[in-house]
DNA sequence: GTGAAAGCGCTAACAT
DNA sequence: ATGTTAGCGCTTTCAC
C-alpha cells in the first residue's frame, strides 16, 4: 500500500482511504491511485485490515454436512445476502458431532468473524460459553428455541411431525411406519409423528432407524424391504425423515409392483427439487430453505447495526405439500 | 495473550510458544499457562498470527455451486485432508460465471490464503495474472490440462464422452440423443460423445440443452418428453450430462410405460449414490470424487512443503459403470 | 483533502 | 527455557 502510494505521489493512508471511502479523496488523486494499483497488481491485505479495524467482514458457518442439500441450499440463500453486504463465508462441517462442533467453534472464533451461523440449537456448554464470551453475533438455524444464544431462525420439528400425523389420519390411514436418520432433529419429528398417530389409532408403529450421515435413496429402498420382510408391514403410510428415503420407498414399491398410495403411502421431508417429479409425485413437508437462509442473514445484519430485533426467534414455519404419494 | 502471560507469571511470547510449540516451554509453565487460558477463556487471534507469520492456514475454494453434489462431495474429501493438516477452508460459489470467479479470486486473495482450489481450467486472463502474481499455490480440479496455473487434478471430459460413445456402439445402439447442462465441461463430454457416435453410425443426434444451473430430475423428465414429442426420438440411448437428468428420464420412461433399456436406454454421469438404486439401476460414468478431492489436497500439501511434484497434472480417470439402464 | 503517529495481537530473530 | 525487540500491513485518531 505504501509503494502504491509512492507511485501515485501520496501517502499510504490516502491509498487506504481511496479503497475504503473514495469520497474522502479528491477525484484526481483517486485516479492516480487506481492507476498505480492497476500497474502494480496490488491486492490489499484483508488480514491486516481486519486486525486494525477489528472487523473481519467474515462470517463463519457450521453445518452438519455440506453434501446434504438441505443445509447447502440454506447456505446458498444465506451467502447470497451476506455477499451482497460485503461479507465472506467460511464454512465447516461438524458431521453431526457436538464435540467436533465445539472444536470448530473455537478455531472459527480464532478468525474473529463478525458473525457466526450455527445449525441447530443444541451446543455443548463450553461452546455456548465461548460464543457468549466472545460477543460474536450468532444465528442458530434450522430449529427454534425460546432461549437462543443470540437469535434463531427455524421451525418446530415436533410441529412438522404432529401435523404430518394429523394429515395422515385425516387422509384415512390407520397403519403407519417411520424411517428416520440418525439425527436428533429427525428423531424429534418422528417422535411427534408417532405420538400423534398413536393417540388417534392406538397402533404401534414399526420403525427403521439409520445411523448419522446423509440419507440415501438406497437406504430408502432398503427400509421398505425391511419393513415388509422383517416387520410384517403390509400396508399404510410411511413417514420419512427425508425425501431421499421417501424416493427410495417409492422406487422399491415400484420394483415390487405395490400400489402407491393405496397400498404403500409415503410422506417425505424437505420438498427437494425432485419431489414434485417423482412417479408418483411425493407428498412432503416443505421448508423454504432459501428464505430461511436469507432470513438468517438478515437477522445477523440487523444485529450488526444494533437494530432492535423485535424477536430473537423467527419461526419460518413449514407446509405439508399434498401430492400423489399419500 | 499478554494478560494470560501476566496471570501465569510469564511474558506474552511464552504464551505464544506454549500454543504453537509446547515442547519449547517447561511442563510446569505450560500447566500454569493452560490454567490461565482456561480461567480467562482466551481464544488466540488467528488474524494477528497470520499477519505476523505470513501463514494464514487458510485455503480458499471456488466452486460453481455448493448445492451441486458433484462439487460438494469433492470438497468433502478435500476439506477432510486439509483439516487434518490444520487448514481451514473458505468457500465461495462462482455460479458458472467467469467474471464472478475473477471477483471472488480477488477477494479471496485479499485474505492471503496459503493455497487455493479452483474448479476447472479456464479462468480469465486477469484472474490468471493475479494468481500467478500472488504466488499462491493453486490446484485446479475437475478437469485436466497440460498447462495448469500450478497443478491440476481431474480427468478428461472429452475422454468420458468418447468412451461412452464406444460403449453405446458396442452395446448395439444405433440411435442416440443427448441431454446436457449449460456447463462448458458437460458440453465437451457431449461433443465427444456425438462425434464418436456419429463416426460409427453416421446418425444425427437430437439434443436437449439446458441453461447453466443445477441439473434436476424434473428437467430430465422434461427432456424425454421433448425428445419424444418434439424431436421424434422413439428409441435409442440417451447420454446425459448428469445422473439427475438420467434419473428423470428413467422416471418419465416409467410413467410412459416405455421399456428400459430396450426402448429407451440411458447413460448418466457422476455415479451419484442413488445411481445404483434407481429402477432400473443406472449405467453411468463414475468419477471417484472423494479421491479426487483428496488427491487435490495432497497436491497442494506437497506444494507447501516444496516437495517436487512428479507431475503437475494428475489424471484420476473415470470408469463406465454398466448397470441395467443401458 | 491529506499526512503523521500509534497500535491492532500476534510471530520471528536474536538475546540471555 | 524464557525474554526483548521489531515488525506484519493495515485503520484510527488527530493534526494541518
Asked if residue A67 keeps its beta carbon closer than 7 A to nucleic acid strand D, the reply is no
Say what the pTM is: 0.94
Q: How far is CA A238 from the centre of its chain?
A: 24
Q: Cβ contacts of residue B253 below 8 Å, gap of 6+?
A: B224, B259, B260, B263, B264, B266
> What cell was used for A232?
410384517
Residues of B in contact with A75 (CB under 8 A): 66
Tell me, what's the pLDDT at A110?
A: 97
Asked if residue B56 keeps its beta carbon closer than 7 A to nucleic acid strand D, the reply is no
pLDDT band at A97 (very low <50, low <70, confident <90, very high): confident
Q: Assess A304–B contact: CB distance below 8 Å, yes or no.
A: no
Percent of chain B whose pLDDT exceeds 90: 95
Query: Whole-angstrom Cα distance, residue A113 to residue A57?
Result: 7
Residues of A in contact with B46 (CB under 8 A): 107, 110-112
Tell me, what's the pLDDT at A176?
A: 98
User: pLDDT averaged over chain A?
Assistant: 96
User: What would the pLDDT profile of B23-67 be if each residue is shown by its tens digit?
Assistant: 999 999 999 999 999 999 999 999 999 999 999 999 999 999 998
> What cell was used for B217?
430430475
CA-based nearest residue in chain B for residue A87: B107
Tell me, what's the pLDDT at B140?
A: 98
Name the 3-class secondary structure at A77.
Answer: helix
Q: Which residue has the cell 485516479?
A: A31
Tell me, what's the pLDDT at A310?
A: 73
Residue whose CA lies closest to nucleotide C7 C1': A52
Asked if B279 lies within 8 A of A251 by C-beta distance, the reply is: yes
Q: What is the mean pLDDT of residues A247-275?
A: 97
Residue whose CA lies closest to nucleotide D6 C1': B52
Tell me, what's the pLDDT at B305?
A: 86
Q: Assess B254–A contact: CB distance below 8 Å, yes or no.
A: yes
Tell me, what's the pLDDT at B158?
A: 98
- Write the DSSP assignment of B199-266 as a string of letters: HHH-----EEE--SS---HHHHHHHHHHHHHTT---SEEEEESSHHHHHHHHHHHHHTT--TTTTEEE
Asked if residue A16 keeps its beta carbon closer than 7 A to nucleic acid strand D, the reply is yes
Terminal-residue alpha carbon distance, chain A: 64
Q: What is the mean pLDDT of residues A190-208?
A: 97
Å from the A8 CA to the C8 C1': 27
Q: Which residue has the cell 445449525?
A: A119
User: What would the pLDDT profile of A273-326 be if each residue is shown by its tens digit?
Assistant: 999 999 999 999 999 999 999 999 999 999 998 776 678 899 999 999 999 999
User: What would the pLDDT profile of B116-175 be if each residue is shown by its tens digit?
Assistant: 999 999 999 999 999 999 999 999 999 999 999 999 999 999 999 999 999 999 999 999
Angle at B313 between CA B310 and CA B316, to 5 degrees: 105
Q: At what angle do helices B157-170 and B184-201 cross, to 10 degrees?
A: 30
Tell me, what's the pLDDT at A96?
A: 84
Does position A121 have pLDDT exceeding 90, yes or no? yes
Q: In what order do the strands lie in the sheet with B264-270?
A: B207-209, B176-180, B236-240, B264-270, B283-286, B319-321
Tell me, what's the pLDDT at B311?
A: 82
Domains of chain A: 2-44 (no CATH), 56-155+289-317 (3.40.50.2300), 157-286 (3.40.50.2300)
Q: What is the mean pLDDT of residues A108-127?
A: 97
Does position B188 have pLDDT exceeding 90, yes or no? yes
- Strand C nucleotides in reach of protein CB atoms, 7 A cut-off: 1-13
Asked if A43 lies within 8 A of B134 by C-beta distance, the reply is: yes
Percent of chain A whose pLDDT exceeds 70: 99
Q: Which A residues 98-127 touch B at CB under 8 Å?
A: 106-112
Pairing of strands B319-321, B283-286: antiparallel
Tell me, what's the pLDDT at B96?
A: 85
Asked if residue B28 keeps its beta carbon closer than 7 A to nucleic acid strand D, the reply is yes
Q: Which A residues 5-44 touch B at CB under 8 Å?
A: 41, 43-44
Q: How many CB atoms lie within 10 A of CB A103?
A: 16
User: pLDDT averaged over chain B?
Assistant: 96
Tell me, what's the pLDDT at B84?
A: 95
Asked if residue B21 keeps its beta carbon closer than 7 A to nucleic acid strand D, the reply is no
- Strand D nucleotides in reach of protein CB atoms, 7 A cut-off: 1-13
Amino acid at each position: 500500500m505504501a509503494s502504491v502510494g509512492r507511485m501515485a505521489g501520496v501517502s499510504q493512508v490516502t491509498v487506504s482511504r481511496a479503497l475504503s471511502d473514495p469520497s474522502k479523496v479528491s477525484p484526481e488523486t483517486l485516479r492516480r491511485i487506481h492507476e498505480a494499483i492497476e500497474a502494480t497488481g496490488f491486492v490489499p491485505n484483508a488480514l491486516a485490515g481486519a486486525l486494525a479495524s477489528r472487523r473481519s467482514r467474515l462470517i463463519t458457518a457450521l453445518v452438519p454436512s455440506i453434501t446434504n442439500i438441505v443445509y447447502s441450499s440454506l447456505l446458498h440463500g444465506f451467502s447470497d445476502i451476506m455477499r451482497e453486504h460485503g461479507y465472506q463465508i467460511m464454512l465447516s462441517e461438524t458431521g453431526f458431532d457436538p464435540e467436533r462442533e465445539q472444536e470448530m467453534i473455537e478455531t472459527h472464533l480464532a478468525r474473529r468473524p463478525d458473525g457466526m451461523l450455527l445449525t441447530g440449537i443444541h451446543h455443548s456448554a463450553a461452546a455456548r460459553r465461548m460464543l457468549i464470551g466472545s460477543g460474536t453475533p450468532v444465528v442458530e438455524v434450522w430449529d427454534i428455541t425460546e432461549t437462543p444464544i443470540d437469535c434463531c431462525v427455524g421451525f418446530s420439528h415436533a410441529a412438522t411431525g404432529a401435523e404430518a400425523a394429523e394429515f395422515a389420519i385425516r387422509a384415512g390411514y390407520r397403519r403407519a411406519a417411520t424411517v428416520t436418520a440418525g439425527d436428533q432433529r429427525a428423531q424429534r419429528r418422528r417422535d411427534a409423528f408417532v405420538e400423534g398417530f398413536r393417540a388417534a389409532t392406538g397402533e404401534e408403529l414399526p420403525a427403521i432407524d439409520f445411523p448419522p450421515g446423509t440419507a440415501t435413496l438406497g437406504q430408502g429402498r432398503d427400509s421398505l424391504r425391511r419393513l415388509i420382510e422383517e416387520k410384517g408391514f403390509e400396508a399404510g403410510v410411511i413417514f420419512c425423515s427425508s425425501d431421499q428415503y421417501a424416493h427410495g420407498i417409492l422406487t422399491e414399491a415400484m420394483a415390487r409392483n405395490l400400489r402407491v398410495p393405496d397400498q404403500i403411502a409415503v410422506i417425505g421431508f424437505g420438498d427437494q427439487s425432485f419431489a414434485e417429479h417423482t412417479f408418483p409425485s411425493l407428498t412432503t413437508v416443505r421448508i423454504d430453505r432459501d428464505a430461511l437462509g436469507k432470513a438468517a442473514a438478515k437477522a445477523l445484519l440487523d444485529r450488526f447495526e444494533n437494530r432492535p430485533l423485535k424477536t430473537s426467534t423467527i419461526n419460518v414455519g413449514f407446509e405439508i405439500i399434498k401430492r400423489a404419494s399419500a
